[in-house]
A = this chain, B = another copy of it.
Amino acid sequence: MGYKVAVLGATGAVGSELLTLLEERDFPVDSLRLLASSRSRGKKIRFKGEDLVVEELTHGSFRGIEIVLSSAGGSISKEFVPSAVQCEAVVVDNTSYFRMKEDVPLVIPEINPDMIAKHCGIIANPNCSTIIMALPAFPLHRAFGIRRIFAATYQAASGAGRQVMVELEEETRAVLDGKPYERTVIPHPYAFNLFIHNSRLHENGYVEEEKKMIHETRKIFREPELRVNATCVRVPVMRAHSEALNIQFDRDVSPEEAYEVLRKAPGVQIDEDRDAGRWPMPVDASGKDPVFVGRIRRDVSQPNTLDLWVVGDQIRKGAALNAIQIAEKFIR
């Protein structure tokens, strides 16, 4: 009594986590097909005690498939997702390619689950930094009305893919040993360094990641005029993103009111120990489901404004978990 599922990009960082979560959350899988590029064909991956063989992705891969979880990059989604839709599969797409298309719902299940029913074959999973900001921001918006958000991000290696996580480790070891290291993915030094998010630069000086945070948040919140600004930075952390949020509201909001709202917010967990000086941290958030929030305080420089510190696992809620949650809502 399960679904015929295919995972596209099964060998990547998010793909692996999708398989872990399908098993952990006991998603009703009748059959599972693992799809990847020809490079990974024949590779075996364990799922529920069985060794599944990775198949090469082709336009014919989707025959008989009901649900596709896609996480192999925008150009792959562009080329192959339409074939899946033609086969009447529903695709939860974790790439940026379809996110801003008008007839494609962009969903965070805790925020706009109603949009799932409006799909025409594709449901898009938002950008990781967007999800981690939006999950705590939306309940605050509903309760108090957000006038403007400024976000400064501290993004992990995982957002750039498994290979960059490996390279961060290898380069760090090389630096500690005083040896040279040749990078293949990121053009900047990464060990004990940080750099502006390595996505495409637009004419107005914003990088693509920042534009995603602005436009995706507006679409998810159904607030086309919502004022959002972001500066996106990659830091030498493995798999959890942190964000310093500065949020201005329509009225004065006390930290206590904000804590109260967020304590009840689904997917959000307050995590702080003021006496111990302990606030949300990437190492603590890694491998966990919630987006952790702490350090809510009044901005002393401007009325009606709060500072928040949020940390969430980029691979989980930032990607794979959110996709699985969409699929779970979809089958209900």
Contact between B301 and A149, CB atoms less than 8 A apart: yes
Closest chain B CB from A263 CB (angstroms): 17
Task: Tell whether A188 is near chain B: CB-to-CB under 8 Å.
Answer: yes
The proximity string for A residues 76-98 relative to B, scoring 1 for CB distances below 8 Å and 0 otherwise, is 00000000000000000000000
| Contact with A277, one of B201, B233, B283 (Cβ below 8 angstroms) | B201
The residue in A194, A246, A283, A299 that gathers the most chain B C-beta atoms within 10 A of its C-beta is A194
In the complex this chain forms, how many copies of it are found?
2
Contact between B187 and A176, CB atoms less than 8 A apart: no
Number of interface residues of A (CB under 8 A): 56
Stretch in A4-12, A20-28, A223-231 with 4+ CB within 8 Å of B = A223-231
Query: DSSP class of A's interface residues: helix, strand, loop or mixed?
Result: mixed
Closest chain B CB from A173 CB (angstroms): 5
Task: Tell whether A331 is near chain B: CB-to-CB under 8 Å.
Answer: no
Contact between A309 and B196, CB atoms less than 8 A apart: yes
**Sample (5) of A-B pairs whose CB atoms are under 8 Å apart:** A188-B281, A192-B238, A194-B282, A231-B307, A236-B236
Interface residues of A (CB under 8 A from B): 148-150, 152, 154, 168-169, 172-173, 176, 187-189, 192-196, 198, 201, 204-207, 214, 227-229, 231, 233, 235-238, 242, 244, 246, 255, 274, 276-279, 281-283, 295-302, 307, 309
